[in-house]
Amino acid sequence: MQHAGDRRAGAVSSAARPPFVALGAFYFFYFAVIGGFMPYWGLYLQSLGFNAAAIGELMAVVMATRIIAPNFWGYIADTTGQRLRLVRIGALMICVGWLGVFIAREFWPLAAVLLAYGFFQNAILAQFEAVTMAHLGDQRARYSQVRVWGSLGFIVTGTGLGLAFDYYPVSALPLALLACAVATWLASLWVPDIATPTRQAAQASVWQTLKRTPVWSFFLAHFLLQLSHAPYYTFYSIFLEEHGYSRSHIGWLWGVGVLAEVGIFLVMHRFLPWVGEYRLMLISLLLAALRWILIGQFVDSVVIIWLAQLLHAASFATFHAAAMARVYRYFGDGNQGQGQAIYSMLWGTGVALGSWWVGMVWAPDTGPWVFTAAAGLCVMAFVLMSTAARYGRAA
């Protein structure tokens, strides 16, 4: 059943050729923001005089918005079907909210600005993923070929800003992120609207789906994987700088990680059906564990650190591509918004809790063991999914 508002003249059918360029442009600029934020926001906060504990807490504020925002917006989107309109509103509010960064310098004002920014930044992606899947229709296996543009956007800012900050102060970061946020909003206006099923079209409730063993075990493993990423997202650049890496070198390392992600996304539409979602996620978890061990225990080896960055293809790209296919299959059309929201919420919860914890224990001599503990979380996720498969169908 379609919502009456979805049958307007502006909507297009999923049978039409997907708007690959418009979808790719949104992903490019959306992740360009993240490509500047993730590697350098900790360094920016450090330049303002914040210590490790405060940096971890401020990063946790942004990530914690993923706990509420995606579910709140997912409920509205699944009820109204107005996913793209919500994305456009959220993208505009990111630009407005980010203006506060230019005047906030103390902990609590900055936390309030980051709370507003994170609420919209973390809410719109889940709904845009659902819009993308609706546009792709029967071509959903090509999702990775659209999502790859987000990876390219991350590379442009992640690497480009690293080179720039060897010559310019990191205080220029907020302006660069604002420019990317405005471009994200403009790109959202370019994406054609499309009818998406509402909650009335769902065959089963979200709760009924979540009670299934393969579903809750998948989401819990996803949570543990994101918890393991917290040291990387929050303190990786600081960790490398403490061990003598220049900011341009740090930028290149972030870039090569995402470049490996790009390579995986380009071939995933052929690779995923052959390997299968379940096996691909298990392999990703083990390779993610290896990545964190290499970063933590061999940080002074430039060659090993570069090789570890190539494993970003596993710790993020392969797991995420398989997870997107799994979320769509578990929740179907009618509950897709909330299914994506739960996935996004657990991502934010894991990174938020991890960032807070890492900020409490971080010191130059604890970094290696923090990353090793992250590897243990990935092993736990692997054991969980493997064990759960014995009590319920893996697929």
For the chain, the farthest-separated pair of C-alpha atoms sits apart, in whole angstroms, at 61
The whole-angstrom separation of Cα 250 and Cα 245 is: 6
- Count other Cβ atoms within 10 Å, centred on residue 225: 28
The whole-angstrom separation of Cα 17 and Cα 343 is: 28
pLDDT tens readout for residues 213-251 = 889 999 999 999 999 999 998 899 999 999 999 989 998
Predicted pLDDT at 76: 82
The whole-angstrom separation of Cα 245 and Cα 72 is: 41
Mean pLDDT of the chain: 86
Domains of the chain: 16-388 (1.20.1250.20)
Q: What is the dihedral of CA 223, 229, 233, 238, to 10 degrees?
A: 150
Higher pLDDT, 283 or 143: 283
Question: Which amino acid, one-letter code, is at 102?
Answer: F
The whole-angstrom separation of Cα 311 and Cα 298 is: 15
Q: What is the dihedral of CA 147, 151, 157, 160, to 10 degrees?
A: -140
Predicted pLDDT at 281: 93
The whole-angstrom separation of Cα 71 and Cα 339 is: 9
Would you state the structure tokens that stand for residue 197, as one six-digit string?
């099923």
- Residue partners of 111: CB distance under 8 A and separation at least 6: 57, 58, 61
Higher pLDDT, 173 or 321: 173
Q: Do 194 and 9 form a contact (C-beta atoms < 8 A)?
A: no
pLDDT tens readout for residues 341-394 = 788 788 878 888 888 899 889 987 899 999 999 999 999 999 999 988 776 554
Per-residue pLDDT for 14 more than 70? no
The whole-angstrom separation of Cα 237 and Cα 234 is: 8
